[in-house]
Amino acid sequence: MLDNLSLIFDYTLIHATIRASTPILFAALAAIITQQADILNIGTEGIMLFGAFTAVTVSYFTGSWILALIMSMVVGLIIAAIMGFAHLKYKADIMVVGMAINMLALALTRFLLNEFLNTSGSFYSDQIIAFPKLKFDFLSKNPVINSLFNNYSLFEIVGIIMVVVLWYILYKTVWGLRLRSVGLFPMAAETAGINVYKRKFEVMLYSGLLGGLAGAHLSLGYSNLFAENMTNGRGFMGVAAMFFGGGNPILSWIGCLIFGLTDSIGSRLQSYGLPSQFILMIPYIATVAILAISLARKLRSEEKMKSSL
Amino acid sequence: GCSGKTEEANTSQENGQAKESGEPIKVALVLAGFLGDKSFNDSAYEGIKKAQEDFNLEVKVMESKVPSDWESNLVAMAAADYDIVIGVSTQLQDIIKKHASEFSDVKFGIIDAVVDEPNVMSATFAQNEGSFLAGAAAAMFTQKTDIPNVNSEKIIGWVGGMDIPVLHDFLVGYKQGAKHIDPEMKILTSFAGTFNDPLKGKELTLAQYSQGADIVMNVASNTGNGILEAAKETGNYAIGVDLNQDNVYPGSILTSMLKRVDRASYLMVESIAKDSFKGGEVVNMDISNGGVGLTDMSVMKEALGDKFPQDILDKIKELTEEVKSGEIEVESYPGFEKK
Amino acid sequence: MTKNQYLNTLFTIIISLLVGGVVIIFMGFNPIEAYIQLFKGAFAGKFNFGGTLERFVPLLLTALAFAVSAKVAVFNVGVEGELYLGAIAAAWAGYSIVGLPKGVHIIICIGFAMVVGSLWAAIPGLLKAYYKVNEVCTTILLNYVAIFFTSYLVNNPLSAKTGVPQTPNMESTALLSKILKPSRANTGLFIAIAVLILVYWLVQHTTIGYKLRSVGLNPNYSDYMGFNAKRTMVIGMMMSGAIGGLAGAIEVMGIYGHFLDNFSPGIAFDGMLASLIARNNIKMIPVLALFLAVLKSGALGMERFTGVPKSLVDAIIAMFILLAAMEGLFMIKKWKKNKSSKIDAAKADI
Amino acid sequence: MAAKLVEMNGINKSFPNVKAIDNGKFDLYPGEIHSLIGENGAGKSTMMKILYGMYAPDSGTIKVKGNVLEELNPKQAINYGIGMVHQEFMLVKELTVLENIILGFEPQKNNRIDFAKAREKIQYYIESYGLEIQPNKKVIDISVGEAQRVEIIKTLYRGADILILDEPTAVLTPQETVKLFEILNSLKNDGKSIVFISHKLNEVMEISDRITVMRHGEYIDTVNKKDTSIPELAKMMVGRAVFLNIKREAPKIGDTVLSVKNIYVSGEKEISKLRDVSFEVRSGEIVGIAGVDGNGQSGLVEAITGLRGVEKGDILLKGKSIKNLPPLKIRQAGIAHIPEDRNVRGLNRDFSIQENLIGNRLNENPYATWIKMNEKEIGKYAEKLIKDFDIRPSNKDISAKNLSGGNAQKIVVAREVDMHTDLLIAAQPTRGVDIGAIEAIRKTLNQAKEAGTAILLVSADLEEILSLSDRIVVMYEGKITGILQASEATEERVGLLMTGGELDDKKSIS
Ligand SMILES: Nc1ncnc2c1ncn2[C@@H]1O[C@H](COP(=O)(O)OP(=O)(O)OP(=O)(O)O)[C@@H](O)[C@H]1O
Ligand SMILES: Nc1ncnc2c1ncn2[C@@H]1O[C@H](COP(=O)(O)OP(=O)(O)OP(=O)(O)O)[C@@H](O)[C@H]1O
Ligand SMILES: [Mg+2]
Ligand SMILES: [Mg+2]
């Protein structure tokens, strides 16, 4: 078992963790930005699926990943705009809108897969140009360094940068301050002359851009194909991660990493004959447990602060 | 792999042996999943398409992964006067058993299970036998260190979709085949927990590669697309399943374990067209009748050139004979014992 | 509902049908034919109508489960998990206990499913009430755990060992009788309606309901009144879980006769949708649950007997739901007022 | 006199169920303090929200600095120099004081908020008007008085020269009020114009130049301060004469009902942690707890009623310990409690009047049989309370959020007083309610006392404490600094104890 252990916990786990957490991370970022304006965007799942489909299609037909990226973000934007109208202008419950968009995405991408790409189930081809990988020859000499620092997909790195950027924007800029006030207390924002409606709409659009990007990463970065329902709950996991971090990009990222890490460990543990279902549960249980324990500890220390003794 | 527009009912040109009247034979295919899996379901549909070339058919494919839809789809098709309603999955066994007597003038087919009713034809597969060969091939291949990216470690992989009995029937054969070649062979196995998540399949496969496997067998339907992709991306190897997947990523896929579902569905339609349908008949598709087996590895041969290990192919031939003759008895998972 | 709202609903339906029709024409099919098949698929004959009722029951119950948790201000996304666990609990009790009279056996199966569902729901409930752990996060994650767990059970200790991932068939004493054969609609329908009425009465006309609603609306008031907001919140979640478990039990006892691995494709999420469109108003929930059930079974009809591809049918249904949620769409009278009440609306959001 | 800064004429505004303003009228001159008074629900806040662009009037004209304004939103109002401090603070609790102040008007340096510059500017207002605040604290951690000052700085920071203050003193201690008035006067001397809304007529008389009275949404009159008096204003507001000072009979004091023994209770802030607090309340007397808000009174009440844990010491009700029992058990042991904040604890605003009135008798016969609520009996009971306590409107099915503050408070008072318990705890029973309601509530408390109830009254309003209490317990930083008999209590003496001072004559009795 000991030599097995070293096969499970070795340095390749780090790259695997980042790889496994990135799709969820992008979904979480898309959810965070609307949540800061008090909009629970569970349509991320659907937007991602649209994005993934668009990216593959555009990349296949044009051979340009840049164009694919742009188009998938545009599609995300359009879907988000529809959601924004339905929710903000026509007062549809945002959860319903999100779920309807998810259903629509599933059905429509399947339909378009048949119509446009003349296939069903999944679509792959040599003509699909993937997002570039950050490959540096000088790093590839040592296998450890190679695994740790080389061969990242472009958006695995961009994702990490975006966590920091979004954190900065939310907590250090005027825009972020106003956005948070809209989410926390819209009346206060309104009386400060901030147009709450516009602000909410704006972040819906950004969320669409991020969701489109998340989808494109799924189909061109994480893999190089499109499959029906390829998001497979990753958008929902993003929402869960957003709640894990209470809307804070950095804490949410930590949530994603915990999930990614335990998921990767699980993938390796499976090979040793434990019932697969229990292994597959690990990431979910671990995430809940860590969240619960950390909050319980926080509460306990607050209690202590309040004591009069 | 493109299956084109699938849902439309289309008739093809008439062929000699078709029913006298010129009216098309109405065939309904009820799936417990969707087309596009590039394996089991697509394969069943391949057979129907083949039959469409030979006979005058009107075809309806009902897809759904919602269990509560299966029964109502099947009953609706039977009630709508289809000549034959084919259930494509073990999971439809109970449903057909339940309704076959209600629709005594409709004929049913069941693939991958047996229903003993006078108006049902069944087809079963000895996937354990096919997997046995796949396991043997993988076990030999993982020691061919002159092939790029093949390491000296005696580790091979296997990734399945949902952790359900039929996959275990694949798995026992695979393990037995590998151990038959080399008892020290270590077999890493993982289940994705779903047939519908290629990304999860890819992740699991990458994990097995990082643990020393250099060839991984795919038994995961749509999830398997990720398995194959992982092979291509890392320069490692995979084994395809159900359909011939060798060409998906030429040079990355050693062989595919064929499960000739297409042949079964074709046979069922043919029996209607030729009026030879025998109720209660069970077609056992196994190595001996070519119902399961491996591909000829020609794609790999071309990719590897003279590095191609011909001895694997020879050994597979030998093993095939031994299994046929009963010299080797391949184990099966409870519930899948040969009838 | 005022007269205006009815008009609004009517307009929404007409618009949805029109838009869907245009798409169908555009794809080269006959929309009239398609809609006739949709209608037939939902209502024509025992088989189709039964199919609609068969879908209505779990939708109604899971919607109710969601609404009950919403009364205590918990957003229970975990009904799906409770459904699975309830289902497998009922299936187990159904095949492993033998020799009971029918009524008793059914009650035991249902009771066991409800207990299991409520205990499972208590976990996110407790975490939320006592440690302020966000319930949306925990319930999303715990759904996976529940589903994997049932998958383990049905493939290992509780497997029928037949090659299909299912439990052994339940004793006939544990099965609910079918109504409207050959469809699989069953007496679970009456159980569901009884539960609907009971829950409505419980929430609106009893002291328990008063406490539940009170906690959902203002936990501080509840604590001050001595209701113990935290405990009540957990109780509300457990009620929700019990109803979710019941939904699962009726599925296996009425429809399958055994537990089948992964049998629910997200029934509870559709139920949640029904409840959300009804704004968690218990009186409106059966209407919306029926609406969704009709769409679902009608869609099957449309798919079976027209050439319209399933994926397109599904897309049209998603669009129906989206439009149905936009209540403001045809509030013609309100348009003028919109301007003056924008802040009132903002206030109402808080 | 100079030209009018603001002129509002013929204003009408309806909400779904009420006509909030009926032909309303208001004007404002430069450099004046103009008070707006009226009962709860008279339409004062609505009138000012219209001026601030938050509500669009149904009809009427608004003229600001000579411009007729057709459409107005808060942003434009701010541009016209109007600033409003709302009755419910418009502060984002999770943000810092600084962030709240600059929200919407942030100084920037390369896309970053220029906090240094913001701080500098705020410092200017802090110093010029003596507005003490702590910019780096989160709003959730500051006192209401400070929040009030933050709101004022916020409006000044936005360049307001017309300040609307909606009931700014309702939540302030007398000391804080004095300080606020100093600030207002210095603002006025700086040429700013101020609209001041209050229920406290003595304050109005102290600070205003002119006074406008509203009643039931209608404009009644505008008078100069020097031409009027408190009784006259009260009469204009209510439509009849009002008597606040209830004549007091000598108390008929009985047995000890509540005795608090050396308790220690946790608190958010250092000064609100109770340490070693002891006192007694006997039947037939009102014991007033005086103290500056935030010195542990809330903690004390919560500890007695079981809403907060007691860490050390004991609490006895009629000799039996009720320490750390669940709130329900404590209620059943014989304590009724009017909580300090009707909107937080006292009411379920989304419940109907009837549902709110039955909350504490939920499981009692005949209102419930087992778990079934007997709606008929409950309805009868609700109607009785509505009548006895003159709650308006008298429709028991209206939801509580549609009631004016005074009437909402009457629901709480009616529900608790009607329990006829041995001990009644009344925390801030008249905070933010109009003069008519204050009269009614005080009368009710006095009647309960005469009927033999022991009453613990907590109030930040010193005048209220002095006029109702038979004994006064003064708290400072979580400790008792003195207990005085009514006869020996004066505003000065209590005030001194409240700020941590000591009485030299040591005549206090405990
Ligand atoms: N947003 C609103 N929606 C519905 N009704 C409202 C709204 N705001 C105020 N009202 C109603 O309008 C009337 C006037 O309310 P307003 O707040 O202006 O009174 P007020 O004089 O400020 O009273 P108070 O002294 O209690 O603050 C009341 O009957 C109130 O219930
Ligand atoms: N330990 C606690 N347990 C429960 N609630 C608490 C606790 N501490 C504070 N609170 C809540 O926070 C509010 C403010 O707390 P804080 O300690 O500042 O009040 P306080 O200073 O005791 O009362 P006041 O100063 O108003 O007389 C309280 O009303 C109470 O609802
Ligand atoms: Mg090897
Ligand atoms: Mg007001």
CB D231 within 8 A of CB D241: yes
pLDDT of residue B13: 39
Mutation for testing the D interface, residue in A169, A301, A306 having most D CBs under 10 Å: A306
Identify the residue whose C-alpha is closest to ligand 2 atom 19: D298
- Report, as an integer, the average pLDDT of C301-305: 88
Q: What is the largest CA-CA distance in chain C?
A: 69
In chain A, residues with a C-beta closer than 8 Å to the C-beta of B222 are: 121-122, 227-228
pLDDT of residue C328: 60
Whether the CB of A302 is below 8 Å from some CB of chain D: the reply is no
Alpha-carbon gap, residue A52 to A215, rounded angstroms: 4
Q: Report the run of H or E that residue D481 belongs to, with start and end.
A: strand D479-485
pLDDT of residue C347: 37
In chain B, residues with a C-beta closer than 8 Å to the C-beta of A218 are: 199
CA angle B224, A58, A27 (to 5 degrees): 65
Alpha-carbon gap, residue D110 to D114, rounded angstroms: 9
The gap from C-alpha B174 to its chain's centroid, in whole angstroms, comes to: 14
pLDDT of residue D505: 59
Helix runs in D190-245, H state only: 201-207, 230-238
Alpha-carbon gap, residue D499 to D490, rounded angstroms: 14
Q: Is the CB of D40 under 6 A from ligand 1?
A: yes
The gap from C-alpha A198 to its chain's centroid, in whole angstroms, comes to: 24
- Report, as an integer, the average pLDDT of C60-64: 98
Strand partners, D96: D138
Give residues 187 to 246 of A whose Cβ lies within 8 Å of D.
187-195
Alpha-carbon gap, residue D90 to D92, rounded angstroms: 7
Is the per-residue pLDDT at A188 higher than 90?
Answer: yes
- C-alpha of residue D47 to centroid of ligand 1, in Å: 9
Q: Could you give the percent of chain D with pLDDT greater than 90? A: 67
| Cβ-nearest to B211 among A19, A230, A268 | A268
First to last CA, chain C: 24
CB B206 within 8 A of CB B219: no
Q: Is the CB of D41 under 6 A from ligand 1?
A: yes
| C·D CB contacts under 8 A | 74
Residue type, B310: Q
pLDDT of residue D173: 73
Alpha-carbon gap, residue C236 to C71, rounded angstroms: 8
Which two tokens mark D149? Answer: 């000052």
Domains of chain C by residue range = 15-329
Mutate to test the pocket of ligand 1, among D35, D44, D197 (most ligand atoms within 8 A of CB): D44
- pLDDT tens digits for range C88-130: 999 999 999 999 999 999 999 999 999 999 999 999 999 999 9
CB atoms within 10 A of CB C305: 18
Alpha-carbon gap, residue A87 to C239, rounded angstroms: 30
- pLDDT tens digits for range C192-246: 999 999 999 999 999 999 999 999 999 999 999 999 999 999 999 999 999 999 9
| Nearest alpha-carbon partner for B296 in B337, B335, B254 | B254
Whether the CB of A261 is below 8 Å from some CB of chain B: the reply is no
pLDDT category at C335 given cuts 50, 70, 90 is very low
Is the per-residue pLDDT at D41 higher than 50?
Answer: yes
Is the per-residue pLDDT at D2 higher than 80?
Answer: no
pLDDT of residue B260: 95
In chain A, residues with a C-beta closer than 8 Å to the C-beta of D104 are: 178, 189, 192-194
Cβ contacts of B4 within 8 Å, gap of 6 or more: A118, A119
- Report, as an integer, the average pLDDT of D154-179: 87
A81-95, C106-120, D178-192 — most confident range: C106-120
Mutate to test the pocket of ligand 1, among D11, D46, D50 (most ligand atoms within 8 A of CB): D46
Cβ contacts of C263 within 8 Å, gap of 6 or more: B67, B68, C87, C251, C252, C256
Q: What kind of architecture, by CATH, is found in domain C15-329?
A: Orthogonal Bundle (1.10)
D and B make contact (3+ CB pairs below 8 Å): no
pLDDT of residue D15: 86
Whether the CB of B4 is below 8 Å from some CB of chain C: the reply is no
Hey, what domains does chain A have and what are their CATH numbers?
2-130+152-295 (1.10.3470.10)
pLDDT of residue B66: 87
C and D make contact (3+ CB pairs below 8 Å): yes
Is the per-residue pLDDT at C26 higher than 60?
Answer: yes
Kindly determine whether residue D93 and residue A189, on different chains, have CB atoms separated by under 8 Å.
no
Pocket of ligand 2 (CB under 6 A): A 306; D 266-269, 272, 293-299, 308
Which two tokens mark D301? Answer: 């009440």
**Which atom of ligand 1 is the closest one to the Cα of D434?**
25
Which two tokens mark D345? Answer: 């604890």
CA distance B88 to chain A (A): 17
Share the mean pLDDT of chain A: 92
Which two tokens mark B332? Answer: 């099966």
Q: Hey, CA dihedral for A48, A49, A50, A52, is it positive or negative? A: positive
- pLDDT tens digits for range D279-288: 999 999 999 9
pLDDT of residue B125: 94
In chain D, residues with a C-beta closer than 8 Å to the C-beta of A181 are: 92, 95, 103
Which two tokens mark A163? Answer: 């966590």
Is the per-residue pLDDT at C338 higher than 60?
Answer: no
Whether the CB of A111 is below 8 Å from some CB of chain C: the reply is yes
CA distance D305 to chain C (A): 8
**Ramachandran class of C299: left when φ > 0, alpha when ψ lies in -120 to 50, beta otherwise:** alpha
Is the per-residue pLDDT at D335 higher than 50?
Answer: yes
Residue type, B195: F
Range in C156-170, D197-211, D239-253 with the lowest mean pLDDT: D239-253
pLDDT of residue C339: 39
**D274 burial class (0-12, 13-18, 19+ CB within 10 angstroms)?**
buried
- pLDDT tens digits for range A127-158: 999 999 888 888 778 888 877 888 899 999 99
**Domain spanning D6-238, CATH class:** alpha beta
Whether the CB of A87 is below 8 Å from some CB of chain B: the reply is no
Which two tokens mark D449? Answer: 């006392």
Is the per-residue pLDDT at A29 higher than 90?
Answer: yes
DSSP 8-state assignment for residue D503: -
Q: For chain B, what is the HEC assignment?
A: CCCCCCCCCCCCCCCCCCCCCCCCEEEEEEECCCCCCCCHHHHHHHHHHHHHHHCCEEEEEECCCCHHHHHHHHHHHHHCCCCEEEEECHHHHHHHHHHCCCCCCCEEEEECECCCCCCEEEEEECHHHHHHHHHHHHHHHCCCCCCCCCCCCCEEEEEECCCCHHHHHHHHHHHHHHHHHCCCCEEEEEECCCCCCHHHHHHHHHHHHHCCCCEEEEECHHHHHHHHHHHHHHCCEEEEEECCCCCCCCCCEEEEEEECHHHHHHHHHHHHHCCCCCCCCEEEECCCCCCEEECCCHHHHHHHHHHCCHHHHHHHHHHHHHHHHCCCCCCCCCCCCCC
Kindly determine whether residue A309 and residue D274, on different chains, have CB atoms separated by under 8 Å.
no
In chain A, residues with a C-beta closer than 8 Å to the C-beta of C349 are: 38, 186
Q: Could you give the percent of chain D with pLDDT greater than 70? A: 97
Nearest ligand for residue B153 CA: 3
Estimate the share of chain D in helix, then strand, then coil, as percent rounded to the nearest 5. 35, 25, 40
Give φ, ψ of B61 to 5 degrees.
-110, 125
Nearest ligand for residue D38 CA: 1
Output D299 or C329, whichever has higher pLDDT.
D299
Alpha-carbon gap, residue B211 to A12, rounded angstroms: 10
Domains of chain D by residue range = 6-238, 246-334+422-430+448-505, 341-420
Q: Which residues of chain B have pLDDT under 70?
A: 1-21, 339
Share the mean pLDDT of chain C: 90
pLDDT category at D194 given cuts 50, 70, 90 is very high
pLDDT of residue A1: 46
ipTM (interface pTM)? 0.90
Range in A220-229, C4-13, D233-242, D467-476 with the lowest mean pLDDT: C4-13
Alpha-carbon gap, residue D170 to D435, rounded angstroms: 12
pLDDT of residue A32: 97
Output A116 or C206, whichever has higher pLDDT.
C206
CB D410 within 8 A of CB D391: yes
CATH H-level superfamily of D246-334+422-430+448-505: P-loop containing nucleotide triphosphate hydrolases (3.40.50.300)
Helix runs in D159-315, H state only: 174-189, 201-207, 230-238, 297-304
Share the mean pLDDT of chain D: 90
First to last CA, chain B: 35
CB C70 within 8 A of CB C272: no
